[in-house]
Amino acid sequence: MGKYLLGIDIGTSAVKAAVFDFSGSLIADSLESYPTFYPQPRFAEQDPDEWWAAVCRAVKSIAQRVNPRDISAVGIDGQGWAAVAADSEGNPLCRTPIWTDTRSVAQCDEMRSVMSDGEWFEICKNPIQPGYSLPKVLWYKENAPDVFSKAAYILQSNSFIGMRLTGNASQDVSQGYAYHFFDMKNRRWDESALKALGLPAELFPEPVQCSKVIGSVTAQASRETGLCEGIPVIAGGLDAACAALGVGAVSPGTTQEQSGQAGGMSICASGCGSTPDLIMGCHTVPGMWLLQGGTTGGSGALRWLRGNISPELTYAQMDELAGEVPAGSEGLIFLPYLAGERSPLWNPFAKGVFYGLTFAHTRAHMIRSVMEGVAFSLRHNLETAEKTGAKVNLMRSAGGSSVSRVWTQMKADVTGKTIEVPLGNSATVLGAAILAGTGAGVFESEAKAAESAVKADRVHTPDETKSEVYSAAYEKYIEIYERLSPLMKEERI
C-alpha cells in the first residue's frame, strides 16, 4: 500500500487535485480551470469532457512531484445538481446544466402535477426548485429527446469522473438529494415516485455509501492521467458534504461555513428533519445528515466584481481596501443574487442589487458591501435553520475566501458566531481523500479520520460593537429584497 491519498474536487470553476499523507498533511496540489457556457437566459452549462481534461492535467502535474506508486486510493467530490447524460461507455451526450442553471421552471410544475409539494417533500425533504437535477432530467425528456433516448445513465459530477477512471457507473448517497425521488430517511430511490414520473430506473445507479470502492483505475485512465492502473477509486460525494468532513463537522451541531464560489452552511445532524426553506442531504459520515443553506452569492460575487470593476487588483489588495471602510459600508448594501437565489428565498428570478450608492461611495465601499452581502445571506440561512430547532455549536470555514481574514471576521461579526478556520485551504479535497482512505481500509472511520486530521489555524470571535451595526444593516438587507421582489419576475421560457 502507498503512503498517500488523492482527492479530486470538481468545482464550479476548476478542478482541484491534492495529495495528502495519512495524517492529513497536504503534500502537493494542482488547479485546472474550465469555462461555463450561458447560451440562453437562465442556462448555465459545462462540458464534462472538459472536467475530465482538467482532471488529467491536474493529476499529471501532481505526478511530477509525487510518485504515482505512492498513491493508495482516489476519492472524488464535486458540485451538486448536475445532470450528466452519458452513454453506456460514460461519454457525455451534451453539455450538462450545472447548479446555477434554472431553465426547468416548467418541469417543476410538471412534478407538482404528479404529486403535491408536500408529498414530494415527505420523500426527499427538499423543495421543488429548478436548480435540482430532477427537473433538468425532465427537461431533457421534453426538450432534448435524442439525448434522453440515448442516455444509459444520468450522472453527477463526481460519479462521471468515477466512471471515467473505472468504467463503472455509480451514485453516492450525499448527491442523492438532487433527485426528489430519493428517500432521504432510508437513503434509496423511491420506486413509486420514479414510476409516477415515467423515468426508467436504470438511468440512475443505486445509491451507495460515499466511501464505497466503485472500481479501480483502468489501463485507459492510467494512460490519460498518469495514475497507476489498479488503484481503488471511491464513490466520493457532494463538495459541500466532503468539505464538512474535511473541516471536522462530523457530530451534531458542528457546522461547515462554505466560502467557495457558492456560499452557505452545512449543519451536521443526527436526523433528517428539514424545512422547505433549506436543503437536506446525507452526510458523507454514515448515519448523519446535513441541514444546508446554499446560496448563489459566495466568493463568486467578489470574483464578478473584480472581473468587471477592478481586474488589476489582487484579492489581497481588495481585502486591504475593504478593511479601510467602516462596518456597514456607510449605508451601501449589496444583494448577492447574481444567478437568482437558492435558500432560503428560492427565487430563480432574484437579481443582484447595490442599494444606497452615493457620490461619497468609492470602489472600496463596493468591495466591502459585496463581502457584507454574502455574509448577510449566510446569516439568513443560519437564522432559518435555527428556527427549525437546529443548533450551531461550532462553525468552521472552508473554501477559497476563508483565507481572507477581513471577510471571515466580517462573517463572524454579521452572524454573531465564532468561526474557526482549519489549517490549510483544502478542506473539500481533504474530505474526498479521507473517504478514499476509509474505503481503502487506511482509516477506521470517516469521523475519526477527520477529527485526527483537522487542525485549527485561527479563530474569529464576533466584535459586539460591529455586530450591532450589522444587525441594523441586515434588517435593511431583508427589507430591500422584500420590497424589490415583486419586480424580480421574468417570463418563463
Q: Are 236 and 77 in contact (CB under 8 A)?
A: yes
pLDDT of residue 394: 84
Q: Rounded mean pLDDT of the chain?
A: 95
pLDDT band at 493 (very low <50, low <70, confident <90, very high): very low
pLDDT of residue 423: 87
Residue 445 identity: S
Relative orientation angle of helices 363-387 and 405-415, to the nearest 10 degrees:
40
Mean pLDDT of 414-424: 93
pLDDT band at 393 (very low <50, low <70, confident <90, very high): confident
Which one-letter DSSP state was computed for residue 242?
H
Its sign, for the CA torsion 272, 274, 280, 285, is negative
CA dihedral 307, 313, 315, 320 (to 10 degrees): -130
* Cα 61 from Cα 40, distance rounded (Å): 35
* Cα 343 from Cα 132, distance rounded (Å): 12
Mark 408-417 as b/e (b = at least 16 C-beta within 10 Å). bbbbbbbbeb
Mean pLDDT of 421-444: 94
CB neighbours of 440 closer than 8 A, spacing ≥ 6?
Answer: 1, 5, 72, 73, 213, 232, 234
Mean pLDDT of 192-205: 96
Mean pLDDT of 157-162: 98
pLDDT of residue 482: 97
SS3 86: strand
pLDDT band at 455 (very low <50, low <70, confident <90, very high): confident
Where helices occur in 237-338 by DSSP H, the ranges are 239-246, 299-309, 315-323
DSSP states of 91-122: -BSSPEE-TT----HHHHHHHHHHS-HHHHHH
Q: How far is CA 241 from CA 151, 288, 386, 437, in A?
A: 27, 11, 20, 16
Which one-letter DSSP state was computed for residue 153?
E
Higher pLDDT, 391 or 107: 107
Size of the chain in residues: 493
Higher pLDDT, 228 or 258: 228
* 490 pLDDT more than 70: no
* Cα 339 from Cα 490, distance rounded (Å): 13
Cell numbers at 302, concatenated: 467578489
CA dihedral 180, 144, 12, 62 (to 10 degrees): 110
pLDDT of residue 492: 43
pLDDT tens-digit map of 308-352: 999 999 999 999 999 999 999 999 999 999 999 999 999 999 999
pLDDT tens-digit map of 472-484: 999 999 999 999 9
* 262 pLDDT more than 70: yes
Candidates 3.30.1180.10, 3.40.1160.10, 3.30.420.40, 3.20.20.70; CATH matching 4-240:
3.30.420.40
pLDDT of residue 227: 98
* Cα 414 from Cα 422, distance rounded (Å): 20
Lowest mean pLDDT among 51-60, 138-147, 172-181, 271-280: 271-280
Mean pLDDT of 394-408: 91
